[in-house]
């Protein structure tokens, strides 16, 4: 029983950690999107710099950075730069850091020169360094104010060889992919950007450098970091001693600042892959038996940043010396050691160590220990699969932008991850396997825990279906293709999941999961076939010339043979393999045709997106995000536009076939998206008016049966039965009896769930919102007074001094001018039926409105004012003034006005207190309002302590012509997050009211 309970606790602990990581990533992505769209409000990085192993890899990274900008991952105002090691010669991560900062400074050189010239300083000789280096004094002043994200991504990725072509930092990581089903496959790089966007907040307005590594996703709330000023700071996390033996360890001072979530201490020492004895000897073991892991994340601020910029701007002689001596400078051993006095003696014996100590040694380094940091390392192929099938399995989108056959003609495991791939019938994929950026033809069997990347197997051999090639990939294997410079065909590469290409023959090296001796024995090959007898390197998989360059199906045949699966005779395959031109992983890494690889990947993803869009138009209900799919299709340049034009031609036929069930607004919006993809902006803008008109019609239909038709009818005659039924009860009409109503309402504060209440979303899917009604300065700020008058017509006054008298009520009709200050009241007269039913045939109305709230304050003012007017009109005409009916009518009113609002604002004002509201599509649209009861003490505390401040920044809703597109293109990305957060927030409020009261009590006592 104890064992069972222990297991349950462990499972709950892991589940809790997964949930926390999921929520943290969602928050980080939300922050990233805000920083990209509104960098003036949510600061973003001034520059993002990636290090690369070679100029070719740097060009690939530039392509990926441009992709990230195109997809909204990086702000247009952010400078992006990829900096290779000089001429592709390795200089180490420390020297690469200096080289990257130097390259960035060189990029800013013209901008600095312009600034200096404008300030009448110029570039005098005293500002110049030797060797034509970057001007120092003005450049340092300029760079000191910049916020730079530096990502080290220039490694060989030997332990993840299939990620070598793309760069390990750009490997697929489909966490939260389901939140954006028609967007691109999320990459490790994208998630790193999300975490880093929060880290930018920790720098505030002080410039600095934030360094991260391309094989680690550090899941923590970086916005809460406390970074010491004028120094460097390394991010650490407590780990067990067994893990520490394979990583860098930080020895932190016993003194420092410790809180519940973090600890900030001076760094006393640095250890590399220490044994337990070394940890004990250096006092590196914490009180709980763990030690501090170096996460590879470093923040440099203030004076420490200034000194690092000075060193970087004059680093070229140092780099030339490293190249000449063929030595490297490590970031985590050499450069960081300059900030740790205990390492100075050791560092001075290292290459350029004396200069590092001299230039940087005056500054200190601190450790910021984040207790809640989850350290997701992608250092090996098995770790990648572990993060997809183990710890992060609940976050993974297992099918994304892919074409998969029916389950009756294929066998694809539910746990398999298929991303940006097309799979033909007759294919099987085992459990927990990853298929990415591939086209898999029939007859291919992929085992469990296998990785297939960039494979494009032709549909048949020689054009004959009966001659189709059959390939089986065993469990725990990796298979990928590499385009080579100067080679027409792509080279097929493979290895075992757990193969370590760095392990030599003498250190238990393996190939396809088998020891080399077993490989030699089974295949009949010799060591001399793989390695030159004169080579000085260790003999390992990394430098084994094992991968042949042959026609495609011959390479597949040899792949089957080398993986130990072929039953063909060795006397045929062995000579074929020996006589072929062969490459090692190392040679392949240096010979990748990155340009061809990028074009091929773009075209493949464009074809997939086109296939999905075509199926959506032909067979579906246009529920996909065509705008995003078109962005992928357009990567095919000229042919992409032609594809979009072909889709556009299908739209009229689609509307005819599905007119009874397909929402017209959705059909129009698809045409708008396709028109924009075809660069026909003028026609798209014209059609957007139809989109909005259709949304208004559909919203009116959702209020109740026949309401839309009633709304569109001409006003009835005064002698009609409808008029006789609905006119005021005025004692047979012989005497005028004045009536007067007054409606006052609060404003609302929205906690979570906004946009899920907005048409067309709320007409087709459930929505939920948590908000609270509040008064301002002790009074209800929004209201109306409506009274009858003997003379005909309607007199309207507002609190801005505007006045209008309408004699001919038939002149009130939509659409309304967006500048008409009375369109709200006019729309209310329409939706309540007063005009259409000729209720005012023998009398008039005087309507006065006010809203003692700043315009654009974001408190739901216009919708709540509309609710007040609608409620008042229904009261004075003895109509259905129930809050639910008023809320639905205001929903229609918003569409008539063209503002495109939902139901949450009027709900917030009509219902008192805190409430959780859910809507359910149907006719009528159902609204369920659940009040959350708070204790009198909590209400009192909120009344005394809730402060609402108007910043002066006016919140403006998007123009109506863009609102629908925002709903479909953006809401779909966030709505799942909103709904989950809303439900979670509801439960939090429901069960934590007493805790909140206690918290308020503590604040009061403080």
Same domain, 902 and 825: yes
Does 759 lie in the same domain as 640?
no
Same domain, 386 and 308: no
Dihedral sign for Cα atoms in the order 774, 777, 778, 780: negative
Under DSSP, is residue 191 helix (H, G, I), strand (E, B) or coil?
helix
**What would the two tokens of residue 35 be?**
């920083």
Contact, 525 vs 545, CB < 8 A? no
Cα separation, 426 vs 982, in Å, equals 43
DSSP, collapsed to helix, strand or coil, labels residue 424 as coil
The Cα–Cα gap between 112 and 106 comes to: 10
pLDDT at 971: 35
- The pLDDT, as a whole number, for residue 41 is 86
Q: Is 140 inside any structural domain?
A: no
The beta strands (E) that lie in 793-925 are given as: 793-797, 803-806, 844-851, 914-920
CATH number for 934: 3.30.230.10
**Co-location of 588 and 601 in the same domain:** no
Residue found by looking up tokens 């740097």 in the block = 58
Between vectors from CA 500 to CA 497 and to CA 505, what angle results, nearest 5°?
A: 125
Bridge-based pairing of strands 477-483 and 510-511 is: unpaired
Cα distances from 660 to residues 647, 663, 729, in angstroms, run: 21, 8, 41
Per-residue CA distances from 419 to 177, 354, 404, 491 (Å): 10, 50, 10, 22
Q: Residue 263 has which token pair?
A: 């600890």
Q: What angle do CA 309, 49, 585 make, to 5 degrees?
A: 120
DSSP 8-state assignment for residue 64: H
Chunked into runs of 10 residues, the chain (1006 residues) has average pLDDT values of 51 70 92 92 95 92 94 94 90 94 92 67 40 68 94 88 93 93 94 96 91 94 90 94 90 86 92 92 92 94 95 93 92 94 93 93 93 90 91 84 92 95 94 96 93 87 50 95 88 96 92 94 92 82 95 92 78 90 92 91 94 88 88 88 92 77 88 94 91 85 70 53 43 63 95 86 89 91 94 92 91 85 93 84 90 88 95 93 92 84 92 93 87 87 83 58 38 37 43 40 41
Return the CA Rg of the chain.
34
Cα–Cα distance list, 432 to 169, 394, 426, 572 (Å): 21, 13, 19, 35
d(CA 482, CA 485): 10
332 and 415 co-located in one domain: no
Angle between helices 823-831 and 883-897 in degrees, nearest 10? 130
**Partners of 927 in the beta sheet?**
919
Other C-beta atoms lying within 10 Å of the C-beta of residue 282: 17
Question: Are 641 and 749 part of one and the same domain?
Answer: no
Please answer whether residues 123 and 137 qualify as being in contact, where contact means their C-beta atoms are separated by less than 8 angstroms.
Answer: no
Same structural domain for residues 158 and 183?
yes
195 φ/ψ sector (left φ>0, alpha ψ -120 to 50, else beta)? alpha
The residue written with tokens 């975490």 in the block is 195
Look at residues 350, 377, 404 and tell me which one is the last residue of a structural domain.
377
Looking at the structure, do residues 813 and 930 belong to the same domain, yes or no? Answer: yes
In a domain, 182, yes or no: yes
Phi-psi region of 944 (alpha: psi -120 to 50; beta: other; left: phi over 0): alpha
Q: Which residues pair with 479 in a beta bridge?
A: 452, 494
Q: Map residue 46 onto helix, strand or coil.
A: coil
C-beta of residue 613 within 8 angstroms of C-beta of residue 629: yes
- CA 771, distance to chain mean position in Å, is 26
Q: Name the nearest CA neighbour of 870 among 896, 832, 901.
A: 832
834 assigned to some structural domain: yes
In a domain, residue 127? The reply is no
The pair phi, psi for residue 752, each rounded to 5°, is -165, 150
* pLDDT given for residue 630 in this prediction: 93
Cβ pair 645, 653 in contact under 8 A: no
* Residue 602 is assigned to a structural domain of this protein: yes
pLDDT tens across 144-194, in order? 999 999 999 987 788 999 999 999 999 999 999 998 999 999 999 999 999
Closest CA to 892 of 698, 668, 688: 698
DSSP state of 757: T
Structural domain boundaries, residue 826: 713-984
Which of these three, 377, 409, 425, is where a domain ends? Answer: 377
* pTM (predicted TM-score): 0.85
Write out the two tokens for 642: 């032609």
Check whether residue 368 and residue 385 sit in a common domain. no
Q: How far apart are CA 49 and CA 36, in angstroms?
A: 17
Which residues contact residue 930 at a Cβ distance below 8 angstroms, ignoring those fewer than 6 apart?
915, 916, 917, 918, 986
The C-alpha atoms of residue 280 and residue 695 are separated, in whole angstroms, by 69
Q: Which residue from 488, 485, 454 is spatially nearest to 591, judged by alpha carbons?
A: 485
Give the total number of structural domains in the chain. Answer: 4
Residues 302 and 399 in one domain: no
Tell me which H or E stretch contains 868. Answer: helix 861-876
Nearest to 844 by CA among 804, 773, 883, 795: 795
Per the domain annotation, does 412 fall within a domain? yes
Pairing of strands 914-920, 926-931: antiparallel
Q: Is 273 left (phi over 0), alpha (psi -120 to 50) or beta?
A: left
Q: What contacts 618, CB < 8 A, 6 or more positions away?
A: 650
Residue 540 included in any domain:
yes
Residues 531 and 620 in one domain: no
* Three-state secondary-structure class, residue 319: helix
- Among all chains, which residue has been given the structure tokens 């007040």? 868
**At 187, is the secondary structure helix, strand, or coil?**
strand
CA–CA distance, 888 with 41 (Å, rounded to integer): 34
- Domain-terminating residue out of 377, 396, 412: 377
Judge if 85 and 188 occupy the same domain.
yes
Q: What is the DSSP string of 218-283?
A: EES-GGG--PPTTSEEEEEEEE-HHHHTTSEEEEEEEEEEE-SSEEEEEEEEEEES--HHHHHHTT
Calpha distance 947→430 (Å, rounded): 57
End-to-end Cα distance, the chain: 46
Residue 467: DSSP 8-state:
G
Q: Would you say residue 49 lies in a domain?
A: yes
- Phi then psi for residue 525, to 5 deg, are -100, 165
- pLDDT score recorded for residue 506: 86
| Local structure of 59: helix, strand or coil | helix
């Amino acid at each position: 029983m104890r064992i069972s309970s222990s297991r349950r606790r462990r499972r709950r602990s892991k589940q809790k950690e997964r949930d926390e990581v999921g929520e943290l990533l969602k928050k980080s992505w939300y922050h990233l999107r805000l920083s990209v769209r509104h960098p003036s409000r949510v600061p973003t990085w001034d520059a993002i710099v990636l290090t690369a192993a070679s100029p070719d890899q740097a060009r690939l990274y530039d392509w990926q950075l441009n992709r990230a900008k195109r997809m909204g991952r990086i702000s247009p105002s952010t400078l992006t730069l990829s900096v290779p090691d000089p001429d592709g010669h390795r200089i180490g991560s420390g020297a690469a850091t200096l080289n990257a900062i130097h390259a960035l400074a060189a990029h800013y050189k013209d901008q600095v020169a312009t600034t200096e010239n404008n300030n009448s300083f110029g570039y005098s000789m005293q500002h110049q360094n030797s060797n034509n280096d970057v001007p120092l004094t003005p450049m340092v002043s300029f760079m000191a104010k910049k916020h730079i994200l530096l990502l080290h991504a220039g490694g060989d990725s030997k332990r993840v060889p299939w990620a070598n072509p793309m760069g390990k930092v750009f490997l697929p990581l489909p966490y939260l992919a389901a939140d954006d089903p028609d967007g691109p496959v999320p990459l490790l790089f994208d998630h790193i950007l999300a975490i880093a966007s929060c880290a930018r907040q920790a720098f505030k307005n002080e410039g600095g450098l934030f360094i991260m590594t391309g094989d680690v996703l550090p899941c923590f709330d970086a916005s809460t970091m406390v970074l010491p000023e004028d120094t460097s700071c390394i991010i650490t996390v407590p780990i067990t001693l067994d893990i520490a033996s394979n990583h860098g360890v930080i020895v932190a001072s016993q003194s420092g600042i410790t809180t519940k979530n973090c600890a900030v201490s001076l760094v006393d020492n640095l250890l590399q892959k220490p044994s337990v004895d070394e940890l004990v000897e250096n006092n590196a073991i914490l009180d709980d038996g763990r030690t501090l892991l170096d996460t590879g994340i470093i923040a440099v601020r203030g004076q420490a940043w200034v000194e690092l910029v000075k060193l970087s701007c004059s680093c070229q002689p140092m780099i030339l010396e490293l190249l000449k001596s063929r030595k490297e400078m490590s970031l985590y051993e050499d450069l960081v050691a300059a900030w740790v006095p205990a390492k100075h003696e050791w560092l001075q014996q290292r290459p350029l160590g004396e200069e590092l100590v001299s230039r940087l040694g005056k500054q200190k380094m601190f450790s910021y220990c984040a207790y809640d940091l989850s350290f997701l390392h992608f250092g090996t192929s098995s770790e990648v699969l572990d993060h997809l099938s183990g710890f992060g399995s609940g976050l993974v989108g297992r099918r994304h932008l892919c074409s998969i056959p029916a389950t009756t003609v294929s066998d694809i495991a539910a746990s398999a991850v298929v991303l940006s791939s097309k799979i033909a019938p007759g294919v099987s994929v085992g459990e927990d396997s990853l298929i990415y950026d591939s086209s898999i033809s029939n007859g291919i069997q992929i085992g469990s825990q296998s990785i297939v990347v960039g494979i494009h197997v032709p549909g048949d051999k020689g054009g004959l279906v009966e001659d189709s090639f059959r390939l089986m990939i065993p469990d725990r294997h990796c298979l990928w293709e590499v385009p080579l410079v100067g080679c027409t065909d792509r080279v097929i590469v493979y290895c075992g999941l757990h193969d370590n290409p760095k392990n030599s023959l003498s250190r238990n090296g393996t190939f396809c999961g088998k020891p080399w001796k077993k490989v030699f024995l089974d295949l009949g090959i010799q060591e001399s076939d793989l390695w030159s007898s004169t080579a000085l390197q260790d003999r390992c998989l990394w430098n084994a010339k094992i991968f042949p360059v042959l026609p495609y199906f011959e390479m597949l045949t040899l792949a089957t043979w080398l993986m130990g699966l072929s039953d063909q005779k060795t006397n045929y395959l062995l000579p074929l393999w020996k006589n072929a031109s062969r490459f090692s992983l190392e040679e392949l890494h240096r010979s990748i045709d990155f340009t061809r690889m990028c074009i091929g990947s773009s075209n493949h993803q464009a074809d997939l997106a086109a296939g999905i869009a075509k199926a959506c138009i032909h067979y579906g209900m246009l529920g996909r995000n065509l705008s995003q799919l078109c962005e992928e299709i357009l990567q095919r340049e000229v042919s992409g536009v032609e594809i979009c034009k072909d889709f556009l031609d299908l739209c009229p036929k689609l509307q005819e076939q599905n007119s009874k069930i397909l929402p017209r607004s959705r059909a129009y919006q698809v045409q708008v998206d396709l028109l924009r993809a075809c660069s026909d902006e003028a026609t798209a803008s014209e059609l957007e008016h139809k989109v909005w008109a259709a949304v208004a019609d559909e919203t009116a239909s959702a209020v109740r049966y026949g309401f839309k038709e009633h709304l569109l009818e001409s006003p009835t005659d005064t002698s009609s039965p409808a008029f006789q039924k609905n006119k005021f009860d005025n004692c047979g009409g012989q005497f005028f009896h004045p009536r007067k109503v007054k409606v006052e309402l609060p404003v609302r504060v929205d906690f979570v769930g906004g946009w899920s209440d907005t048409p067309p979303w709320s007409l087709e899917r459930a929505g939920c919102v948590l908000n609270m009604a509040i008064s301002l300065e002790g009074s209800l700020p929004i209201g109306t007074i409506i009274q009858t008058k003997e003379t005909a017509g309607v007199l309207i006054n507002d609190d801005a001094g505007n006045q209008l008298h309408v004699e001919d009520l038939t002149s009130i009709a939509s659409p309304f001018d967006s500048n008409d200050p009375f369109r709200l009241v006019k729309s209310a007269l329409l939706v309540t039926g007063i005009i259409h039913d000729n209720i005012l045939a023998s009398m008039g109305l005087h309507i006065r409105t006010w809203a003692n709230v700043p315009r654009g304050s974001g408190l739901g003012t216009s919708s709540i004012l509309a609710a007040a007017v609608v409620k008042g009109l229904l009261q004075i005409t003895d109509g259905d003034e129930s809050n639910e009916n008023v809320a639905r009518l205001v929903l229609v009113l918003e569409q008539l006005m063209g503002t495109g609002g939902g139901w949450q604002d009027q709900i917030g004002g009509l219902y008192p207190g805190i409430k959780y509201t859910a809507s359910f599509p149907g006719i009528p649209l159902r609204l369920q309002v659940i009040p959350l009861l708070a204790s009198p003490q909590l209400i009192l505390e909120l009344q005394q302590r809730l402060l609402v401040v108007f910043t002066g920044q006016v919140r403006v809703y998007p123009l109506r012509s863009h609102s629908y597109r925002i709903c479909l293109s953006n809401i779909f990305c966030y709505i799942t997050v909103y709904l989950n957060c809303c439900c979670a927030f509801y439960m939090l409020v429901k069960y934590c009211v007493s805790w909140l009261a206690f918290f308020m009590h503590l604040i009061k006592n403080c």
